[in-house]
Structures are given as structure tokens and as C-alpha cells.
Amino acid sequence: MADKLKLDKSMALFAEAQTLIPGGVAGIRRPYNFVVGEYPIYFDSGKGGRVTDVDGNEYIDYLCAYGPIIIGYREDEIDNAVFEQVRSKGFCFSLTQEIQSDLVKKLRELIPSCEMAALVKTGSDATTIAIRVARAYTGKTKIARCGYHGWHDWCVEVKGGIPEKLYEDILEFHYNDLDELEAILKANKDDMAGIIVTPVGHPLAMEVQMPKPGYLEGVRALADKYNVVLIFDEIRSGFRCSLGGAQKHFGVTPDLTTVGKAMANGYAIAALVGKEEYMKVMADKVFLSSTFFPNSDSIVAALKTIEVLERDKVLDVIAEKGWKFAAEVEKVLKESGIPAAFSGAPWMPYITFPKDETGLYKKLRNEFYTQLIRRKVFLQPYHHGYICYRHTDTDLAYTVGAIEESLACLKQML
């Protein structure tokens, strides 16, 4: 059993923050989404594949800021490009700087579905404008969805403060289930505008799922059959599964795509990209505007990040590391005899505990992640992780050992 971490400053800051900010910190970063009392609440700094909390504890970080850190924290090449833009030209104006088109041309070169693009700030921005475009293009209302998609009214899981009429036309289906999707499309065929789906399935607190053979092809075929707009939500899989996203990796092209997170290695940017036929409704039928959408600091970061990803074959390296890591973790899990599963290889590693009638899985999960964080490995109990370029072979080997030790601590619970 590892010793509990010293987290005094984190706890003191959180106590103060609860008097200043509703909940202390926002949403998924609140302590109950980790193991209360065992995980830090505030980070101080990060470098490469590691982060340091306000109490001075350093961790190998596999959450990667929930996905944006594809290369590593504080990448000089990317940061210096942004600093130069800010110093030499500025980044926030009443009109758009020409560098916006440079990024869109690069996206068009890489992403199969991209003929045009609209730049925004967050994944929720991108998925929400995708829905608006699908509805404007078709003149219809209903959307079939499978995935997270963000915090806006039409898709957020917690419904407090949201009238039912704002999401009553959103119809959920399960990943890898074509029959369920077709039943929705058939029952609502006169008013279906689109399908939005994550090409890699990542339901909350459940195993990451890869598409079964023919699944994504089947979704594409159903979209064509029922004449609806197909949207791939690639906020997590874009610039991670490949430079062209999961659609490039799996060979299935949607009509519209949302990308973000890894595109700029931590800078705030996302995009809706798609075929001109659909995207052009934003020229006159759909309104999209924000003070900060065209800011060039994040555009510069995205261009430099993509340059590094291409030049250094970053995604090939991550995939190689990810497959090796997965094989070693799966071996450790099997030998441990603990009822646990590994999923998400090679991009989104996740260790979960299958549900049982007694609720033992909750205790196992809680103790496992307690032991893991005490060994300075930062993963989340309810959300898959990521592997970044700066995670070293030594980091990954240490993590496998920490997982093995943490599993050993669970045996007495069985």
C-alpha cells in the first residue's frame, strides 16, 4: 500500500474557491470525478508528459488536459510561434487576419470530408454549429446522436435549467448498433436532419469501443438511405487516430466533421469542416459569429502543431507506444485475476471494472485509482486517458509497474 499524498495546499485552495466559484472548480474537474481526498485539485505546472500540483507532487499525466496535449506541455516550438505572432502582429482584431485561410487550406489537405471549414473555440461550439448546419440544409429538425457532444442545451447530460423543448428532437442511439439507429431513422423519416456520432465510441465511465467491422460503413449507408446529413464528432479522435482523423484511419467519409482538442496542443480552437454543399449554408442561412473565433494565436498554434505532427511522425510514434503499452497492461490484468478490463488501444487507454450485482466494482475502482495516484500516475476513474508524444518508454514502463502494484492491493478485497 502506497502512502497518501500530501495535498494540503490543494485542499485549502479548494475550500477558498468554494466561497468564490460555484462548486469551487467547474464540472468534470470537481473532486467527485476522481477519488475525493486522494487526487490533487489544482496543478501548478506541466512539462512534456508530466504535471506538478500546487503541493509539489509530480505525476506522469495520462489525462493530457482531457485530450488537447498531443505532443507535450510547454512545447517551445509551438509557444514561440504564438509569442512571435502576438509580439509582431497581434491576434485579436475587428477584422480577420489572413492566416485563417492558411489553416483551413491545411485542414482541407488532411481531412477527407473537408472542403470548407469554420473556425470556433471549443468542441461544444463545433458540434452545435454542425447541428445548426444540418437542420438549415435539410429544413428538418430531428437529430440522431451517439456520443458526448458537449455542454450546450441540445446535448448536455445534466438537464437543470433547460426546457425539454430544447432537446426533445434529439434521439439517442448506442454505438455499434445499426438496428437501433435505423429504427430511429425509419420512425422519424419525415423530419430527420442528421446523425452525429463519434467514430470511436467513448461512453462515460465505460470501456472505449472501436467500430465493429462494417459499423461506420453501415452508418454512412443509413445516412444516404434516409437522406440525412452525417456528422462525425472527431473532437477526441481528430489529429490523434491519424492526421485525417478516424475517418481517414477507418476509411469512411462523413458530410461534416468536428475537430478540436489535439489540433493545437492545448490552445483554444476547434472547427467544423465539411463538404461545400453543406457548409455553404453558413454564408446566408446560418448565423455564426463570436468576438474570439478568428483570434490568430490559436490558429498559429494549430498550424505549428500540425507541422510538428507531420514532420516528426508523432501519431505513428504514439500508436506504436500505445499498442505496446496496451499489450503489457493486458498481460498484467490477466495475471492479476482482478475483474478489470483494458480498452482504448492505442490512443485512449482506459482501465474499467465490470459492474456486478453487489457493487464490488465500485470499491475495486476506487481503491485501484487511489493506489495509482499515490504512485504518481494521473489517470481518471470515469474517463479514458491519452498517450502523448513526450511520454517516454521509461514513463510507460513505470506506469505498467504501478498498475501491477495497484492491482495487487485489490486482492484482499476479493
What separation, in Å, do the N-terminal and C-terminal C-alpha atoms of the chain show? 16
In 63-183, the DSSP E strands lie at 116-120, 142-146, 170-172
The Cβ of residue 35 has, within 10 Å, a number of other Cβ atoms equal to: 20
Whether 67 and 236 have beta carbons less than 8 Å apart is answered as yes
User: pLDDT digits over 247-297, tens only?
Assistant: 999 999 999 999 999 999 999 999 999 999 999 999 999 999 999 999 999
At residue 390 the predicted structure's pLDDT band, cuts being 50, 70 and 90, is very high
- Residue 260 confidence (pLDDT): 97
Average pLDDT rounded to a whole number, residues 152-161? 95
Q: Of 65, 68, 49, 74, nearest to 325 (Cα)?
A: 49
Which helix (H) or strand (E) segment holds residue 341: the answer is strand 341-343
User: Residue 43: is its pLDDT beyond 90?
Assistant: yes
Question: How high is the pLDDT of residue 394?
Answer: 98
Percentage, residues of the chain above pLDDT 90: 98
At residue 1, the pLDDT reads: 80
**What pLDDT is stored for residue 112 in this prediction?**
98
For residues 368 and 413, which has the higher predicted lDDT (pLDDT)? 368
Q: What is the pLDDT of residue 413?
A: 80
Q: What is the mean pLDDT of residues 131-144?
A: 98
Q: Is the pLDDT of residue 123 over 90?
A: yes
245: left (phi over 0), alpha (psi -120 to 50) or beta: left
How many alpha carbons fall within 13 Å on the CB side of residue 269? Answer: 27
Tell me the average pLDDT of the chain.
97
Judge whether residue 244 has pLDDT over 90: yes
Q: For 167-312, list the strands marked E by DSSP.
A: 170-172, 192-197, 229-234, 256-259, 270-274
Q: Check whether 188 has a pLDDT greater than 90.
A: yes
The residue ranges of DSSP E strands in 84-199, in sequence order, are 116-120, 142-146, 170-172, 192-197
Class of domain 76-311: alpha beta
pLDDT (0 to 100) of residue 368: 98
- What was the pLDDT predicted at 209? 97
Q: Is the pLDDT of residue 353 over 90?
A: yes
**Domain range summary for the chain, segments of one domain joined by +:** 8-73+313-413, 76-311
- Asked if pLDDT for residue 414 goes beyond 90, the answer is no
At position 41, the amino acid (one-letter code) is I
User: Residues 135-160: what's their mean pLDDT?
Assistant: 96
At residue 131, does pLDDT exceed 90? Answer: yes
pLDDT in tens, 92-104: 999 999 999 999 9
Q: What is the pLDDT of residue 69?
A: 98
Contact by Cβ (8 Å): 43, 52: yes
Residue 33 has pLDDT above 90, yes or no: yes
pLDDT for 152: 96
pTM value is 0.96
| pLDDT in the model for residue 412 | 82
**8-73+313-413: what fold?**
Aspartate Aminotransferase, domain 1 (3.90.1150)
Find the radius of gyration of the CA atoms of the chain: 22
* Sheet with strand 229-234: strands edge to edge: 116-120, 270-274, 256-259, 229-234, 192-197, 142-146, 170-172
